[in-house]
Amino acid sequence: MFRTRVRERWARIGAAGGIVAGLLLVGAWADVLPGGWRLRGIVEAHGVREGRERALHAAERLREFAGEDPRAIADAVVFVGSSTIERCPIEKLFPGVNALNRGIGWAGARELAVHLDRLLDGTPRAVVLYAGSPDRLDDPLDVEAVLSGIEALAVAVRGRLPDAPVLLLGLLPTTTTCGPESEAFARIDAGIARIAADRRCEHVGFVGSALLDEHGALREDFSTDGLHLNEQGYAIFADHLRAAPGPFASLLAR
C-alpha cells in the first residue's frame, strides 16, 4: 500500500513537472520567456526560417496587390520599397493624394525588380522608390552589391515607365550606424544620387535631415526599433519628400 502511494505521488509530481516544463517551452518559443531565439534555432536554422518567413510574407503581399482593383493604379503615385514603405501610413501622411503602398517588408532591391510587373501592374502617374535597405543590412560594408541592386531596380522601372516621374530615395541609417559602416553609408548615399541622375530620376537623400543625429545615425526618438520609423519619424519623412525637386513637390503636396 505504501509503495503504491509513493509511486502515485511521484507520478503526480512527474506529470506536474511535465506540464510546467511544457509551459516554459511554450513561453520561451513565444518570446514571453528568455531563450526562444536559441530554442527555435535548435528546431530550424534561423537563416532557413527567416528566408521562409520572408518568402511567405512577400507572397501574401503580392496576393493583396493582385486583389486590388486594377484601375486603382491609374494616375496614382505608387510607393515601392521594403518595410519602411510597407509600414508607411501613406494615406495619413499624404491626404488627398492618390497614392498606393506597394511595399514588401525585407524585400531587397533585386527582389523588387523581379516582382515589378506585379508592383506596377498598370500605368501609374509617378513612382517613389525606397530600395536597398535589406541589402545593406545583410552586409553593411558591401557598397557595390547594394548599389548594383538599386541600379538594377531603377533600370527596370525606367524600362517599364520611360517617361513617368520617378523619385529615388536615399537610405536611412539605423540608430547604431557608426564608424566604417557610416563611411560605407555615405558612399551608398552618393551612389544612389549618381544612379538617379543616370536614370533620369529625381533624388532625395536623408543625410543632414532632421531624422538623423549629429553623428549621422537615425535618431532614437524617431524610431520604433532602431531601424524603422515611428509616427513622428514618418511625419518628418513625409515633409522631407514634399520638398523633393521636380514634379513631386506638387504631386505630394497637402
Euclidean distance between CA atoms 235 and 221, whole angstroms: 13
Cβ–Cβ under 8 Å, residues 92 and 146: no
Taking each continuous run of H as one helix and of E as one strand, the counts in the chain are 12, 5
pLDDT tens per residue across all 254 residues of the chain: 656 665 666 667 666 666 765 565 565 546 655 655 454 555 555 556 787 999 999 999 999 999 998 888 999 999 999 999 999 999 999 999 999 999 999 999 999 999 999 999 989 999 999 999 999 999 999 999 999 999 999 999 999 999 999 999 999 999 999 999 999 999 999 999 999 999 999 999 999 999 999 999 999 999 999 999 999 999 999 999 999 989 998 999 87
CB neighbour list of residue 155: distance below 8 Å, 6 or more residues apart: 199
* Three cell numbers, residue 193: 544620387
> Per-domain residue ranges for the chain?
2-43, 69-251
Euclidean distance between CA atoms 134 and 30, whole angstroms: 25
Euclidean distance between CA atoms 112 and 169, whole angstroms: 15
- Transcribe 85-98 into DSSP letters: HHT--HHHHSTT--
Superfamily grouping for domain 69-251: SGNH hydrolase (3.40.50.1110)
The model's pTM:
0.83
Among residues 65, 62, 81, 76, which one has the least CA distance to residue 168?
A: 81
